[in-house]
Amino acid sequence: MVLSVATLFLFSGNSFAATKIKLGVVTKPGSAQNIAAQKFKELIELRSKGGFEVKIYHSASLGNETEILQQVQMNTIQMGVITGGPFDTFNPISRVINYPFLFKDNAQADEILDGPLGTQILKSLEISGFKGLSFSENGFRNLTNSKKPVKSPDDIKGLKVRVMASAIHKAIWSALGANPTPMPWPIYTELEQGVIDGQENPLWVMEVYKFYEIQKYLSLTRHVYSYHIDVASLKWWETLDANDQEMIQKAMYDAAVYQRHDNRSKDAARLKLLKEKGMEIIENPDIAAFRAKVANLKDMDLYQDPQVKEMLLKIMEAVK
Q: Which residues bind ligand EAX (CB under 6 A)?
A: 26-27, 83, 138, 164, 185, 201, 205, 226
Would you say 98 or 138 has its CB closer to ligand EAX?
138
**Rounded Cα gap, residues 144 and 212, in angstroms:** 9
Residue nearest to ligand EAX (CB): 185
Would you say 5 or 205 has its CB closer to ligand EAX?
205
Q: Which of 5, 8, 28, 42 minimizes the C-alpha distance to 186? A: 28
Rounded to a whole number of angstroms, the minimum distance from the CB of residue 204 to ligand EAX is 8
Would you say 181 or 226 has its CB closer to ligand EAX?
226
Would you say 22 or 58 has its CB closer to ligand EAX?
58
Residue 260 CA from chain centroid, whole number: 11
In order of 1, 233, 249, 266, 275, the CA distances from 139 in angstroms are 32, 25, 22, 11, 19
Rounded to a whole number of angstroms, the minimum distance from the CB of residue 205 to ligand EAX is 5
Would you say 50 or 202 has its CB closer to ligand EAX?
202
**Rounded Cα gap, residues 36 and 298, in angstroms:** 31
Pairing label, strands 179-182, 160-163: parallel
Is the separation of the CB atoms in 293 and 177 below 8 Å?
Answer: yes
Rounded to a whole number of angstroms, the minimum distance from the CB of residue 244 to ligand EAX is 29
Would you say 143 or 234 has its CB closer to ligand EAX?
143
Q: Which of 45, 92, 12 minimizes the C-alpha distance to 300? A: 92
Rounded to a whole number of angstroms, the minimum distance from the CB of residue 139 to ligand EAX is 9
**Rounded Cα gap, residues 210 and 230, in angstroms:** 26
User: What are residue 130's DSSP bridge partners?
Assistant: 233
Rounded to a whole number of angstroms, the minimum distance from the CB of residue 311 to ligand EAX is 22
Rounded to a whole number of angstroms, the minimum distance from the CB of residue 11 to ligand EAX is 39
